[in-house]
Chains A and B, each alone.
Chain A
């Protein structure tokens, strides 16, 4: 098992390397760029624009920029010396040996072109809101999806199954942005106006979420602060739950139906076991095997967040950060988010595979 985990982690390195190359290439090849925002501003001269590019290293060829971002190249080096760190050893080696400090290999994700903050600072600040929203949504939607799928399969073709099927198709076909806007329209519009339309906290009552002032306020009035976040959570959570239940409940239903049709279920019935034991011991245990994998693969969502939902509800999480960074050509932030996302996906896959070995005795590593 340990050997297997180590092997999988080692295998992940070339994958992440490949992902970073491809993503970097695509991002920097996109038309426009961080200077596009100055295009219609006549007071900014061409020289100033070139100056800006030079300052951020954007004047270099894409491979060089990638090499610096990765930390293999030393931005201060000349000629072939770019590969050599300040201490005379290859730059990609750990800082103690090479003296190199730049690039993700040295843990430096750079600075946001947009705000000048460190990329890691922006990501960590956005991670907590995303985790709050995503964990609520994930727990609720998986619970409902599993219950709905199992009941629909056990009571196949009943009215419950029919309603669940219709709900799944509607939920599947409904675009997230449309559902989000409709919810805002209904619950935050002039008619009802009982829930906030967006954001994570009531800005008139509390400092911005995540700031030191906010935590001071939170310390003083924890219940009010929690209730405030809770109110803001309702609509985005509903949006995520409705949209994601659709697919997952179908998946659980299909898996459960397959299990219920298996020979060992007939054997369990032939043994004279109760309905409950046949359904919830023999069938469900087998039906959950693929579902566990599926849930494992959904875990990165806790970090990566929901791009559309967070944007619609102005939720200050990773999803919104990604959209904002994309709009502003904020390469360092985008690369940071995407690289962490890729890492989490790889880890989630590994986690799902390990979890599978625990639930299915036929799998051994």
Chain B
């Protein structure tokens, strides 16, 4: 495992103080036997202190890899950081020595994982696992760390925390375990909380509780939240800004209202069209045709072009950038938002509107 990634020279300038997290042109590739997978390919975004951001995308779109790169949790190799900078709390963390990074991980930046059962160590008590983190970062005695663990469990709404703290993970239910994970993440009062599909492995009723909990905590503490999910509904309720990822790239970004109400990238449009609603009952459910591109053989220009209903010859020739597409800083990676595509835009939007309302091809 390589501990330090060679720093690009020179590093860019630090972002303004109100920006907690600034990811710039991040490229995380995986070298595997069959070739190189560009899992994250030039991702940039930033997050203000105390704000929340949602990263949406299907499996393999690079959203989890982005988060793991930020936490420096990927094994290098097979992962490889090709390019980019990550500024967190005024410091560049992607190229800092691992020893420094360990002081940030779990302390200023904490992460909640998808599988609460396997993410907790089965042979240590819940309290042990939380207290150990507090001891490490806050340099307090065992007793104080243990008290902090109880407090954290209380904060996430676990009843009788004095008893729970002495239990092992297998003695808790799935929802309780995820609460423990959240308590652990919160135990050192992080500035950024990364939640990687925190509800995917849980029952629907528990999902709602956990999301509610995350929202309350985000309101009550001043920690920023980065929520990774494939569920657009969750994003709508939980975050301020949203990033849509496809095949390792950001295809659309903006505020939740902009992106979910007026999507401007054909991929986002397709995602929203494919949500089943009562109004669309009886019609055929709209689906994005085709499948996610083979990572070893990405389309040469726009990665969504083979599946895009609005693509024309330019889309197969030139890769689109993120272009401004809305009044409040919304951006979309689509040629429709360039002068060349502007004449086609109204028709595309109308088509999207139609599919959204009546579904696709009612028979």
- Chain A positions near chain B (C-beta within 8 angstroms): 262-264, 266-274, 277, 282, 285-286, 289, 359-362
Contact = CB atoms under 8 A, between A and B. Distances in A.
Contacts of A285: 121, 123-124
A361 B119 contact: no
A282 B181 CA distance: 16
B132 A273 contact: yes
B110 interface: yes
Which residue, A264, A274, A360, has most C-beta atoms of chain B within 10 A? A264
Contacts of B118: 262-264
Contacts of A360: 122-123
Contact of B106 (A262, A264, A271, A282): A271
A274 B121 contact: no
B170 A362 contact: yes
Contacts of A270: 71, 73, 105-106, 110-111, 113
Given A270-B71, A271-B106, A271-B184, A362 B122 contact: yes
A361 B121 CA distance: 11
B103 interface: yes
A269 B133 CA distance: 10
Nearest to B194: A270
Interface residues of B, number: 27
A264 B122 contact: yes
Interface string B101-118: 011111100110101001
A364 B149 CA distance: 26
Nearest to A262: B118
B123 A267 contact: no
A268 B110 CA distance: 11
A361 B172 CA distance: 13
B121 A268 contact: yes
Nearest to B99: A274
Contact of A362 (B73, B110, B136, B168): B168
23 contacts: A264-B119, A264-B121, A266-B113, A267-B120, A268-B121, A270-B105, A270-B110, A271-B105, A272-B103, A272-B107, A273-B102, A273-B132, A273-B133, A277-B136, A282-B121, A285-B123, A285-B124, A286-B122, A359-B123, A361-B122, A361-B123, A361-B168, A361-B170
A114 B140 CA distance: 72
A223 to B, nearest CB: 45
Contacts of B133: 271-273
Contacts of A286: 121-123
B122 A267 contact: no
A285 B103 CA distance: 24
Residue in A273, A282, A359 with the greatest tally of chain B CB atoms within 10 Å: A273
Given A266-B73, A271-B106, A273-B106, 6 more contacts: A270-B111, A271-B136, A272-B102, A273-B102, A286-B123, A362-B170
B240 to A, nearest CB: 24
B119 A267 contact: yes
B137 interface: yes
Interface in B121-171: 121-124, 132-133, 136-137, 168, 170
Contacts of A277: 132, 136
A273 B73 CA distance: 12
Contacts of B181: 267
B23 to A, nearest CB: 18
A361 to B, nearest CB: 5
B121 A267 contact: yes
Nearest to A285: B123
Contact of B105 (A262, A263, A272, A289): A272
A219 to B, nearest CB: 49
Contacts of A272: 102-107, 133, 136-137
B101 to A, nearest CB: 8
B73 A269 contact: yes
B320 to A, nearest CB: 35
Contacts of A271: 105-106, 110, 132-133, 136, 184
A108 B20 CA distance: 82
A269 to B, nearest CB: 6
Which one of A264, A272, A285 has the greatest number of beta carbons of chain B within 10 Å? Answer: A272
A3 to B, nearest CB: 22
A269 B101 CA distance: 11
A298 to B, nearest CB: 23
Contacts of A268: 121
Q: Which 6 A-B pairs have the closest CB atoms?
A: A272-B106, A271-B106, A272-B105, A263-B118, A264-B121, A271-B133
A158 to B, nearest CB: 11
